[in-house]
Amino acid sequence: MPLFSNRYFLPAMLAALLFSAACHKKPAPMPAPTDDATLQSAASFPVGAAISVDLLRNNVGYSSLVSAQFSSITTENVLKFDAVEPAENQFNFTDGDYMVTFAVQRHKRLHAHNLIWHQALPNWVINFSGDSLAWENLFKTHIETEAAHYKGEVASWDVVNEAIRDDDGTLRNQDVNPGDGSIWRRHLGADYIARAFQYAHEADPNALLFYNDYGQEWNGQKLNAIIALVSSLKNRGIPIDGIGMQMHIDINADNNNMLAALQKLIATGLKIHISELDIAVNPGNDPNFVFTDPLNAAQSAKFQYVAHIYNTVPTAQQYGITTWNVTDGDSWIPWFYNRKDYPLPFDANYHKKQAFYGFLTGLKN
């Protein structure tokens, strides 16, 4: 089967023309900093962040910043498998419910992350023994119970997260490197992804359903595999609405590669969510790293470019841009890589960085 059918040729051609015009447009000048500037007011589509429930509960500065700047919030960790079902058939929705209440009270869209992933699994799943029917029941029960609990309360789900390998574009299966394999693929077969979407849709027919992954902008083989996967699901009538393009990038990310990847994703006809954006400034893990003015400027320009090219996505396919975490102080990157880094538009003291103003400019244009 060809990757794209003829019905996608004309939309892809038009999208390419729009992108070409956008990329040759003279960049907008940086606006003068203003204290009342907000990301959510600058964009014609939702702008969001992945949110820490602990900071939301306990830090007024954090919750105030989220309320002021973002129109959409993503559940960072509280709806992952290990948090929701720590023991078999014992579900804990306390933190997720708190985030729902916060979103409703402040009129924010809530994007739920995630139902099925090969990580963040409780020990009872990792050590589970049973035949294929028992595994299918475990899988189906978790998806349906969680999705049904939030029926009508979340706008969308990352149904399956990061199912494709980096090295060869195949589905994760056996562990070649520690943590790379998928327990779901091993026990449920390759079509577990389609069934996950079906189960989620049956539990909440009105929620938009996304496949979420990283690496599209730097790994062409993986990009093509993601497109083949979601296109196959769509062509089979599996209920899938969009693609999450995570965009964990750094200041050296190639603009042409980002643009080309976005064009290919647009051609699927699905909604596009830049779902986990951050822009690292110390990708070399320099222990003596100093965040200089030139690096500030480079990061700001990269945020502006990402927002700028996203503005050329057809309106019907824009699901928005979401940063992964809110400030440099709560970013996953410094602790995960054990290094100094400052990957977000707000610093650890909740102040707007130069990157904020670059992002703001890109959102407006």
Q: Which residues of 215-231 are buried (b: 16+ CB within 10 A; e: fewer)?
A: bbbbbeebbebbbbbbb
Q: Among 118, 102, 120, 121, which Cα is nearest to 110's?
A: 102
Alpha carbons 65 and 88: distance in angstroms, whole number: 37
Give, to the nearest 10 degrees, the angle between helix 293-310 and helix 354-364. 20
Residues with active-site annotation: 162, 276
Task: Let me know: does 158 contact 79? Beta carbons within 8 Å.
Answer: no
In single-letter form, the type of residue at position 195 comes to R
